[in-house]
Amino acid sequence: ETDDTVNLKLKAALEHGVTPIVCVGEVLEEREAGLTEDVLRRQCMRAFSSISAKKAAKLVVAYEPVWAIGTGKTATPEMAADAHVLIRGEAAKAFGDEFAARLRILYGGSVKPENAKALMSQEEIDGALVGGASLDPKSFAAIVKY
């Protein structure tokens, strides 16, 4: 999806009372080129465009590095926390500091029982967007109980 499509879908979800989860994240080539911050800023700026803080009250954002989806690779807890700080900063620019402080930002890149505790111990990470591990009840339960 394009950034503009994400914005349109976000507006539609909010208009219809749906709690949207906007996923942002970079591909491997962007990370290796040192472009992660630029990519996340652009994605957030465009996703949040022309939306009021009042309308966005139910918004949830997930940092989901594309290079980690279904690959078994995951961002280090520190990498994820850094991305969350940046996302919260972009939310503050778009909606204000109070909104940004309340915004739930999840991590969603190959969360599994082996890394859930380390990721969730990061102050900036508010929860997990569990993908493939949710298909295995034992794995999912282990993540929930971390």
Rounded average pLDDT over 6-19: 96
Would the pLDDT of 42 be above 90? yes
Q: Which long-range contacts (CB under 8 A, 24 or more apart) does 113-117 make?
A: 113/139, 113/142, 113/143, 113/146, 115/74, 115/77, 116/142, 116/143, 116/146, 117/146
Q: Where is pLDDT greater, at 12 or 109?
A: 12
pTM: 0.93
Predicted pLDDT at 70:
73
The per-residue pLDDT for range 53-70, each reduced to its tens digit, is 999 999 999 999 999 887
The per-residue pLDDT for range 84-94, each reduced to its tens digit, is 999 999 999 99
CA Rg, the chain, in Å? 15
Domains, the chain, ordered by start: 3-145 (3.20.20.70)
Rounded average pLDDT over 2-20: 96
Average predicted confidence (pLDDT) for the chain: 95
